[in-house]
Structure 1
Amino acid sequence: MTERIPPGGFKDLGPLNWLIAKGGARGIRRPRFSLMNVLGRHRLMFLAWLPLSAYLLYAGKLSRRDAEVVILRVAHLRDSEYELQQHRRLARSRGLDKETQARIFEGPDAEGLAEKERVLITATDEFVVTRGVSPETWQQLSRHFSKPQLIEFCLLAAQYDGLAATISTLGVPLDFPD
């Protein structure tokens, strides 16, 4: 992959974005958090994007486990190695072991998935592929999630779908290249 916009340093990011990127790098235990070092080059947009991204990832109304099911499925559908590398690790800390992750990648018909996981995967597939969710799938999703959680599901799937496209388009280098 060609880096169209390479990760920036202190001068490119400015002091605040540089500190945020350094904190993120520490969190993933890497010398650099490439996504932050690229997006941080647009100083104000980065600061606007970051709170929503952090909310969806760490504090949303969906359980952290359910959020990771959606994120992993989007990353799989979009073939986003960057997102997969980041979220395979995070998902394990949120109760999604390697076997469960393999089932998520296999799809909603994989053996061993819970009903809620099947519905989340089906809804994610529809959202990403067709840009919507069918009435039947929405009805199933509504049995498991509140209205605020349903809104969050849409924004979470859209956020990670758009992020996968952005990462690919900008050529963001992997943080875990090995």
Structure 2
Amino acid sequence: MSTTQSERLRELLEPLVTSQGLDLEEIAVDSVGRKRVLRVVVDSDTGADLDQIADVSRELSAKLDDSDAMGEGEYTLEVGTPGAERLLKEHRHYVRAVDRLVKFQLTEGEDLVARILGVDDEGIDLEVPGVKGRKATARRLAFADIDKARVQVEFNRKDKNEKNEKEEEA
């Protein structure tokens, strides 16, 4: 997809997405055989529910039908959210990932898995889990030191409220 088409699609679709209270995170046009698929990823600070996804999908579809941004051929529009293991690229992504476990690839080549505790304009405060019974440690990372960051899925994590309730009972 040419940069020009990507920019045109973003200019066309972003105001509609924003009017629905969402952020336009990503646009991708892929060819699958003779078919084309336009994938639009949206999100917000509070997440996006199915009703919001359906509403924005209808709005985008109508806008695309009224324009020539996708050209003459048929295409499929897919609207969704970033998913559980999202890549963190923008400042707002880090803010939305507070209290989540994240795998960082640092610019110096080190890999680090830690929980985001806080985010400001310069960087992030982390809790690095302890190894072999050791206590967790605090660490600060500047955004400039991060090459790549991806949220990790946690299946066995105790909910913070559940943990606090157990501590109060003891």
Q: Which has the higher strand share?
A: 2
Q: Which has the higher helix share?
A: 1
TM-score (norm 2): 0.29
TM-score (norm 1): 0.28
Which has the higher Rg, Structure 1 or Structure 2? 2
